[in-house]
Amino acid sequence: MTNSTYFRVLKNTFWNLWGGSSLIFLQIVITPYIVHKLGTEIYGIWSLAWILLSYFGFLELGLGTACVKFISEYYNKHDFSNCSKIYWTSLIITVIQGIIGSIIIIGFAPLMVKKFFSISSQLIPMTTLVIQLSAIGIIASFLLGTAQAVSAALERFDWINKITISKNIVQFLGIAIILYLGGSIIHMLLFSFLLQIMTLVIYYLLGLKLIPELNNQKLDKKAFRVLLKFGGWVTLSSILAPTLDNIEKLFIGSFLSVAFLTYYYVPFSLLSRLFLLSNSLSTALFPAFSEMSSREDHATLQSIVLQATRILSASVGFISILLIIFAKDFLTFWLGQEFALHATTPMKILCAAFWINIIAHIPFAFLRAHNKPHIPALCHLIELFLYLPIAYWLIKLFSLNGAALAWTFRVSIDTTLLIIATTYFLKFPINKILKAIFNIGLLVPSILMIIIWCAQNLWGLSIWFVIINAFIFSILEILIIWHFILRTEEKQIIQTLFFQFKR
């Protein structure tokens, strides 16, 4: 990878990190207030609505991802006519699929609520209405992915994150104000939909500014075939991924209760923010991977895959261990002792699971950019047949802890299969990527866990001793990553970007 490409990837990663960090901050600060005002059961209904909405995301047919890939390719060739064809063909298909998805959810909502979820009888009408209203928002949600694809294809992640940060601030503060003024979950949904529409308009106008030729609306049969050929396998992943990511939550809502779902969903949602670094990096790498794959530059691809894996494994591994150590204290401080009583053990299990899952993000991005979207899709298909019975059995036996164990089992299979596929196509031995995963950056977290476990369980030392040691080891971890994992050119680019962002 050239220095200019390296600079661009790291700059985009910084922007993605900035946008994601703002969401984590808002979630940590405002979520306790929302849970307190709604109560655990109604917040569980709110969570359930968004889970179902994400599940039907498969109807988007992978068009957002396909748009990024093909608009990027055509734009670099100055083929603006095909950019317009891809863009408008995708938008029209997206509208049709969004309407289909909305009709399906609205029609089946009463049956789903009554037959599949454990909800208090007095809340059944409200839950049905919430899910049906959420279904209407699926059209705007789908369109948002396609409209944003233009900015992503042209690697304008600075604008994407400026818009995202603004949207998140308005959404969280708006919801808090609605609840403060006595509004209900219905008002929260309507406000969220209005905000989605406004964001959609902004992305549309930004797309026209970046590629003025998009103003020439064109629906093209060839573009339709190109989009669906690539998006077909992405669609299969999109069908399976929501099931794999959410089936244990639906089982909790069905076998236990919607109130119990809150104890699982809140820490799960928080930990999903660990995807911040991996998503930031893999999203920025996707166009670069596509470019290098077209040139069959396997040596550079191999180097980048291994280096990105080292960085992710060390940094996210350390954060995961810190969260395992402080899970109970953090949840008690954040949401109260009763919440921590139910959620601490699942959160600890999920911390390990998310670290395992994050390792898979770089192989996943590489395989798609390498025109092998069928590999992740087939991996998801294999996982589905194993995951469903295991999730059912473990939740029945171990409740919320079983759900966390089942999800850990699923992501372990996923990561293993994607790593094997990546090493096969890049033609390097699997022990190289294993060394990248279990690097020196994991040594510090391992020592930290042993010391703090002894301090808490054997020596009975205070929480302040634990916090001070965690701080010291955090500094050591940063120094280890800087001196032993990052390359010289990466350090130089990071320093340059730091002073640019500071200004």
Tokens, residue 4: 């200019």
217: left (phi > 0), else alpha (psi -120 to 50), else beta? Answer: beta
Report d(CA 396, CA 144) in Å as an integer: 38
Q: What was the pLDDT predicted at 351? A: 92
For the segment 167-201, what is each residue's pLDDT rounded down to a tens digit? 888 988 998 899 888 888 888 888 988 898 899 89
Of the chain, the percentage scoring pLDDT greater than 70 comes to 88
Confidence of residue 85 (pLDDT cuts 50, 70, 90): confident
Of the chain, the percentage scoring pLDDT greater than 90 comes to 10
The domain locations on the chain are: 3-438, 440-503
Report d(CA 360, CA 341) in Å as an integer: 31
Query: Of the candidates 242, 220, 280, 248, which has an alpha carbon nearest to the alpha carbon of residue 92?
Result: 220
Q: What was the pLDDT predicted at 3? A: 54
* Cα–chain center distance at 130: 24
DSSP label at residue 122: G
**CA end-to-end span of the chain, whole Å?**
27
As to burial, measured by CB atoms within 10 angstroms (0-12 exposed, 13-18 middle, 19+ buried), residue 495 is exposed
Q: What was the pLDDT predicted at 6? A: 62
Report d(CA 222, CA 82) in Å as an integer: 10
For the segment 21-34, what is each residue's pLDDT rounded down to a tens digit? 777 788 778 888 88
Confidence of residue 420 (pLDDT cuts 50, 70, 90): very high
For the segment 458-472, what is each residue's pLDDT rounded down to a tens digit? 666 666 766 777 777
Report d(CA 276, CA 114) in Å as an integer: 36
Report d(CA 472, CA 342) in Å as an integer: 30
Mean pLDDT within 109-131: 77
For the segment 208-222, what is each residue's pLDDT rounded down to a tens digit? 888 888 877 666 777
Confidence of residue 414 (pLDDT cuts 50, 70, 90): very high
Buried b (16+ CB within 10 A) or exposed e, 356-395: bbbbbbbbbbbbbbbebbebbbbbbeebbeebbebbbebb
* Three-state secondary-structure class, residue 259: helix
Query: Of the candidates 257, 223, 248, 259, which has an alpha carbon nearest to the alpha carbon of residue 394?
Result: 248
With beta carbons less than 8 A apart as the criterion, state whether 83 and 74 touch. Answer: yes
Q: Which residues contact 368 (CB under 8 A, 6 or more apart)?
A: 65, 234, 286, 376
With beta carbons less than 8 A apart as the criterion, state whether 208 and 33 touch. Answer: no
Q: What was the pLDDT predicted at 348? A: 93
Q: What was the pLDDT predicted at 422? A: 92
For the segment 366-389, what is each residue's pLDDT rounded down to a tens digit? 888 787 888 888 888 888 889 889
Report d(CA 56, CA 66) in Å as an integer: 18
Confidence of residue 410 (pLDDT cuts 50, 70, 90): very high
* Cα–chain center distance at 46: 19
